[in-house]
Structure 1
Amino acid sequence: MILEEIGRPYDPAPLDFKNNAQYEPGYVAINPKSKVPALLRDDGTLLTEYPVIAMWLAKTNPQAGLVPVDLEGETRCAEFLDYVCGTVHPQGFTRQSRPNRFALRAEDEPAVVAQGRELAVKYMNVIDSGWRGDTWVLPGGYSIADSALFFIEHWAARRFNIPLPPRLATHFAAMLARPAVKRTLELEGLPT
């Protein structure tokens, strides 16, 4: 989505997580962490972890205006990225999609899923109640923080049937209207 926003050419390489393609030797040779996203830069070096990739893309493409230029704004953007990627995603949504990672026994998995759903709702309400911007996450306008929020909104609304709190619902609708988001969803084979 960020590459679409900045208009930078790229070659997507989607992975089939349902068939554990992230553990295949070809991908592990590129990214031993067996995670996505991963960005192979023009100089041949690899960047991993969404907050790092997002910040690097934003800072190396300042014309796109995807990260605040002031220290407080950049700090709040990094804080939001960390919360979404380090807390909301793994605790709220990975528990629901991969409960076996959190349960010692198969019979405990439904409780893990229920806990994930409860946490996802709680975390999204925390985001909603602490909303700093107007339509976008940050007061300065659209940023990489919005792209991070979108992926959990998308999972909540379209995958797990979790109602979005009011500000997140408004944000989700605004994101779906962005041309870069539409192109990204189409590329991923997801409904726009």
Structure 2
Amino acid sequence: MSTLAAFPITKRWPAQHPDRLQLYSLNTPNGVKASIMLEEVGLPYEPHLIDIMKNESWLPEYLALNPNGKIPAIIDPDGPGGKPFCLFESGAILLYLAEKTGKLLPADPALRYETIQWVFFQMAAVGPMFGQVGFFHKFAGRDYEDKRPRDRYATESKRLLGVLEGRLDGRTWMMGEDYTIADISLLGWVRNLVGFYEAAELVDYAALSNVPAWLDRCLLRPAVQRGLEIPSRG
């Protein structure tokens, strides 16, 4: 197996177990996708905390791994062809780990693409919209007298929750009876919207039934409980 020394990030965050997959992350809604997935599939990995509040994702060593300066990112020492392989973007990481392990992504082509469409739905719509609600409702947006930006994002987030509510009608998980990367991609964002962002009332979360029940099922999974706390903030 090749060394990881060629990756500049390992100079600042040394690998104590270079034979394991290296995770560079923080337990944000995007970050926990990778840690939950790794816990679910049981791949040995070594987590490294990238403190975005200290701008560590903009350090040259991190940018050498992800030029976009966002978390999470991974280095797999046993990547395609047995060579070290680095990857960023949480959705891409979910797909990569699912295909590497043969877990949490249906083998049937139609079901596989149906699962992937919901991951893309999260990446393109749920993440950006819920994140804007978090900014305008909980953080600096509260200082703006003009509430139209907040209300615009809240209205769209409420609509997106309605899409999830309809999808989950009569289903245990996003894909029916099988828990998949679609659920992993979404659960952290829904949890943050109503928890950390304190926006449940703003998006009328109490009017939903399928989404809250689904989120409760997600949060009962031991791998989810572990992954939500990784990497530890100390």
CA RMSD for the aligned pairs? 2.4
Larger relative contact order (CA 8 Å, sep ≥ 6)? 2
In the TM superposition, what whole-angstrom CA distance separates every residue of 1:84-133 from its partner, at most 9, and x where no partner exists?
0111111x12213445xxxxxx8487533332222211111112113376
Change (3 A) 1:115 1:19: farther
Q: CA deviation at 1:3?
A: 0.3
Rounded to whole Å, the distance in 2 between the matches of 1:154 and 1:74 is 25
Give the corresponding residue for 1:103: none
Could you state the TM-score of these two structures normalised by the residue count of structure 1? 0.84
Give the secondary-structure state (helix, strand or coil) at the position aligned to 2:229: helix
Q: Verify: 1:47 aligned to 2:87, yes or no.
A: yes
Residue of structure 1 in register with 2:182 after alignment:
145
| Alignment check: 8 A CA contact 2:171 2:177 kept | no
Q: 2:215 matched to which residue of 1?
A: 172
How many equivalent pairs are there?
182
Q: What is the alpha-carbon distance in structure 2 between the residues aligned to residue 28 and residue 147 of structure 1?
A: 26
How far 1:189 sits from its partner (Å)?
Answer: 5.2
Aligned to 1:136: 173
Structure 2 gaps of 5+ residues are 1-35, 78-82, 137-142
The one-letter code of the counterpart of 1:41 is D
Are 1:186 and 2:229 matched, yes or no? yes
Q: What TM-score comes out, normalization by structure 2 length? A: 0.70
Structure 1: runs of 5 or more not aligned: 100-105
Percent identity over the alignment is 25
Which structure is higher in helix share? 1
Does the aligned pair in 2 maintain the 1:77–1:138 contact within 8 Å? yes
CA 1:108–1:75 in structure 2 vs 1: closer, same or farther (change >3 Å)? farther
Which residue of 75, 89, 93 corresponds with 2:113?
Answer: 75
The 8 Å contact of residues 132 and 138 in structure 1, kept in 2 or not, is answered as no
Higher strand share: 2
Please tell me whether the aligned partners of residues 172 and 214 of structure 2 are also in contact (alpha carbons under 8 angstroms).
yes
Q: Which amino acid aligns with 1:117?
A: A
1:85 to 93, 102, 123: 123
- Name which one, 1 or 2, has greater alpha-carbon Rg: 2
Aligned CA distance change for structure 1 residues 189 and 118 (closer, same or farther; 3 Å)? farther
